[in-house]
């Protein structure tokens, strides 16, 4: 089992590249960046965003931060956990993912999710009822851009014909697509257009993961599909291993360099020989 971190990169926190170097030096496997382009302002009708931590609205762009991490590190896996593809143009996003993969020498991991703040989606022109279909089409369209010199895609929400876009990803056929979600249909989505599953820690998730590892297979393969756990707890690492989880990502609040170094060192000490 591998271990990594998730943190919103903010102006006052440890710089993304420095955080990547810190984790690489301590033997951690990965660093993933979350994604919110904005947060709707709190109003009496917008109670669902009232208690969000400030980093949700003041975090830097995930791909800009990943570019900095890519250039500062050499072995650390990097990725998104998760990009809200319902809020991003697929042609532009395909180029961003491929560019980070090139800058990192093939270390990019593309975690995707549909979003959960309805007005945030609406501000980008996506109706919440369409979010899963929009995500599927945009991911599939990006896969065409990454793998074809001349790419086309014709769907209900994405439509383009005969485009060229470089660079192409270093990792072939493209960086792993980690599909988020904890609902009953997530296995179908992972099998249809993903390479891995990235569920969040929720009640019952370990039973769900164990069943997924037993039954979910990509067409033509008898190998279990990898699972990355979003927001794992240090005290539950043994249970995660028993469930067959491949990677655990610890969620940490943004903090300055000294404070983050102490946090990372404490977690590394607890993990001990589990770190590579």
Domain count, the chain: 1
Q: Domain limits at 189? A: 2-274
Q: Domain of 242: which CATH number?
A: 3.20.20.30
DSSP assigned state of 200: B
Spell out the per-residue pLDDT of the chain, length 276, in tens: 999 999 999 999 999 999 999 999 999 999 999 999 999 987 655 656 788 999 999 999 999 999 999 999 999 999 999 999 999 999 999 999 999 999 999 999 999 999 999 999 999 999 999 999 999 999 999 999 999 999 999 999 999 999 999 999 999 999 999 999 999 999 999 999 999 999 999 999 999 999 999 999 999 999 999 999 999 999 999 999 999 999 999 999 999 999 999 999 999 999 999 987
Q: Give strand ranges (E) for the chain.
A: 2-6, 30-33, 77-84, 108-113, 151-154, 159-163, 177-180, 196-198, 228-230, 247-251
Dihedral in degrees, nearest 10, Cα atoms 179, 90, 157, 115: 40
pTM: 0.96
**Beta carbons within 8 Å of 236's beta carbon, 6+ residues apart:** none
User: What's the confidence (pLDDT) of residue 47?
Assistant: 59
Nearest to 104, CA basis, from 177, 169, 29, 44: 169
Phi, psi (degrees; rounded to nearest 5) at 83: -75, 135
- For the chain, the straight-line distance linking the first and the last C-alpha, in angstroms and rounded, comes to 9
> Distance between CA atoms of 225 and 219, rounded to whole angstroms?
11
């Amino acid at each position: 089992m591998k271990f990594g971190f998730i943190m919103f990169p903010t102006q006052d926190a440890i710089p993304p590249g420095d955080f990547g170097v810190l984790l690489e030096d301590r033997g951690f496997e990965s660093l993933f960046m979350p994604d919110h382009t904005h947060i709707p302002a709190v109003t009496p009708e917008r109670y669902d965003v009232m208690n969000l931590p400030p980093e949700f609205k003041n975090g830097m762009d995930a791909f800009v931060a990943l570019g900095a991490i890519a250039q500062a590190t050499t072995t650390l896996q990097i990725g998104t956990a998760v990009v809200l593809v319902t809020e991003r143009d697929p042609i532009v996003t395909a180029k961003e993912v491929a560019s980070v993969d090139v800058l990192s020498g093939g270390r990019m991991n593309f975690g995707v999710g549909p979003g959960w703040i309805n007005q945030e989606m609406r501000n980008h022109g996506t109706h919440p009822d369409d979010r899963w279909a929009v995500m599927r089409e945009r991911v599939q369209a990006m896969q065409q851009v990454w793998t074809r010199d001349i790419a086309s895609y014709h769907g209900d929400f994405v439509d383009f014909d005969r485009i060229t876009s470089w660079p192409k990803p270093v990792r072939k056929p493209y960086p792993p697509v980690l599909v988020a979600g904890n609902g009953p249909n997530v296995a179908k989505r992972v099998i249809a257009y993903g390479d891995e599953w990235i569920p969040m820690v929720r009640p019952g998730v370990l039973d769900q993961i164990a069943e997924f590892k037993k039954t979910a297979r990509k067409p033509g393969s008898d190998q279990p599909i990898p699972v990355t756990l979003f927001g794992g707890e240090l005290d539950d690492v043994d249970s995660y291993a028993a469930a067959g989880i491949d990677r655990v990502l610890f969620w940490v609040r943004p903090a300055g360099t000294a404070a983050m170094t102490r946090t990372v060192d404490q977690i590394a000490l607890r993990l001990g020989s589990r770190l590579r």
